[in-house]
């Protein structure tokens, strides 16, 4: 079946008593245990509402099983700790989501995990591998520069050496990229973004094989970051429209990227769907769509990033991404504020860089708002 169909139908819990078409919300934290093989318990990650979301996302990501968490970072940190421990070496990309980057730099030393950072480039990642590397963590496209890494190249090399690979697929979503089909072992999402899609739930998920899901689950039961039934239900409801939301958002992003690329107040546009973008051909080979995130650098002689954001009427300057509404943010003031100005300059995040999370509004209205804020 196609993604749109799986979004609607897969995973639903059919209640034989009422025959309702939707999964009921099971609020129990206590379940009877006699005469059954396994007893549900919220922190055992095995309630019907958790299972419904896991099953839907597993089918969308072409995975076998997974674990649903109370945040994207819970999904990432638990998955990492399931595959790396004291004495192991981990290779990470230095353009990873800030929270994942900080998790490594703040906690790995204490846990005895050794690590190296590599650029957004398959050869750089491969070069950083040592004899004791057990895990590689990558992200594509990256935040906020939309860097693309050749996923197949990394996974072919890692598989041959028995190294586990994790990708953060939050930006692409399974609608635009299915990393398990490219050889990745574990796909992690911040469900707070596109999966939830309405800027009102915090959650995360890891999707993988049955065997690896068992390993993540065993660690997850110790760490405990499980998701409550009401949020599970909201998430399952949101996922029914994931494909049509992301398809529209992706179409809008392409139009807006082209508009910005031709605007003389804009110095540079980062969007994988632009043919002149560095990662375009690799993106084309591994993504089914180029996604709905883009970033651009304003020509500060014409308009400053601050002035531009203040003039916007419909688009909110706000953190986070992936919702139905278009959001803009200045990475140097939000996600990358802790990085030194020199470090930001080194990786290419200038003060005039703005990141756009394109929503499902009509593209003309988004472009109209951007236009009036440039030219006012």
Q: Which stretches of the chain bind ligand PLP, using CB under 6 A?
A: 71-73, 97, 99, 143, 168, 170-171, 190, 192-193, 202, 204
Of the pair 69, 265, the CB lying nearest ligand PLP is at: 69
- Minimum CB separation of residue 335 from ligand PLP in Å reads 8
Question: What are residue 52's phi and psi, to 5 degrees?
Answer: -60, -45
Catalytic residue among 56, 193, 245, 355: 193
- Minimum CB separation of residue 143 from ligand PLP in Å reads 6
Whether 193 is catalytic is yes
Catalytic residue among 65, 97, 245, 271: 97
Of the pair 99, 348, the CB lying nearest ligand PLP is at: 99
Catalytic residue among 13, 43, 215, 278: 43
d(CA 100, CA 76) in angstroms, rounded, equals 7
Q: Which strands sit side by side in the sheet containing 89-93, from one edge to the other?
A: 65-69, 204-208, 186-190, 164-168, 133-139, 89-93, 114-118
Of the pair 25, 202, the CB lying nearest ligand PLP is at: 202
Q: At 62, list the tokens.
A: 């072409």
Q: Which of 180, 185, 141 is nearest to 161 (CA)?
A: 185
Of the pair 199, 263, the CB lying nearest ligand PLP is at: 199
Whether 200 is catalytic is no
Name the residue with the smallest CB distance to ligand PLP: 72
- Minimum CB separation of residue 193 from ligand PLP in Å reads 5
- Minimum CB separation of residue 105 from ligand PLP in Å reads 15
- Minimum CB separation of residue 245 from ligand PLP in Å reads 16
Catalytic residue among 168, 185, 351, 369: 168
Residue 323 falls in which region: left (phi positive, over 0), alpha (psi -120 to 50) or beta: beta
Of the pair 8, 202, the CB lying nearest ligand PLP is at: 202
Residues noted as catalytic: 43, 97, 168, 193
């Amino acid at each position: 079946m196609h993604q749109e169909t799986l979004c609607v139908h897969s995973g639903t819990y059919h209640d034989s008593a009422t025959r309702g078409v939707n999964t009921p919300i099971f609020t129990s934290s206590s379940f009877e245990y006699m005469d059954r093989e396994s007893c549900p318990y919220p922190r055992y990650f095995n309630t019907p509402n958790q299972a419904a979301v896991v099953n839907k996302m597993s089918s969308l990501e072409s995975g076998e099983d997974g674990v649903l968490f109370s945040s994207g970072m819970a999904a990432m940190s638990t998955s990492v700790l399931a595959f790396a421990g004291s004495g192991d070496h981990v290779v990470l990309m230095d353009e990873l989501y800030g929270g994942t980057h900080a998790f490594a730099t703040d906690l790995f030393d204490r846990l005895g995990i050794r690590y190296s950072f590599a650029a957004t480039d398959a050869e750089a990642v491969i070069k950083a591998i040592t004899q004791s590397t057990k895990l590689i963590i990558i992200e594509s496209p990256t935040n906020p520069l939309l860097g693309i890494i050749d996923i197949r190249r990394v996974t072919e090399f890692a598989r041959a050496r028995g190294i586990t690979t994790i990708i953060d697929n939050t930006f692409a979503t399974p609608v635009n990229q299915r990393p398990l089909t490219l050889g990745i072992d574990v796909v992690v999402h911040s469900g707070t973004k596109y999966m939830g899609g309405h800027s009102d739930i915090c959650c995360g998920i890891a999707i993988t094989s049955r065997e690896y899901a068992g390993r993540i689950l065993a660690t997850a039961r110790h760490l405990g970051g499980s998701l409550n039934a009401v949020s599970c239900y909201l998430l399952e409801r949101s996922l029914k429209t994931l494909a049509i939301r992301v398809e529209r958002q992706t179409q809008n992003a392409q139009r807006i990227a082209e508009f910005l690329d031709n605007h003389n107040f804009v110095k540079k546009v980062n969007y994988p769907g632009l043919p002149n973008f560095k990662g375009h051909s690799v993106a084309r080979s591994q993504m089914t769509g180029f996604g709905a995130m883009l970033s651009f650098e304003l020509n500060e002689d014409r308009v400053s990033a601050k002035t531009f954001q203040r003039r916007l009427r419909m688009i909110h300057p706000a953190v986070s991404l992936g919702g139905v509404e278009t959001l803009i943010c200045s990475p140097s003031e939000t996600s990358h504020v802790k990085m030194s100005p020199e470090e930001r300059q080194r990786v290419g995040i200038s003060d005039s860089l703005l990141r756009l999370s394109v929503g499902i509004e009509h593209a003309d209205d988004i472009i109209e708002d951007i236009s009036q804020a440039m030219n006012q």
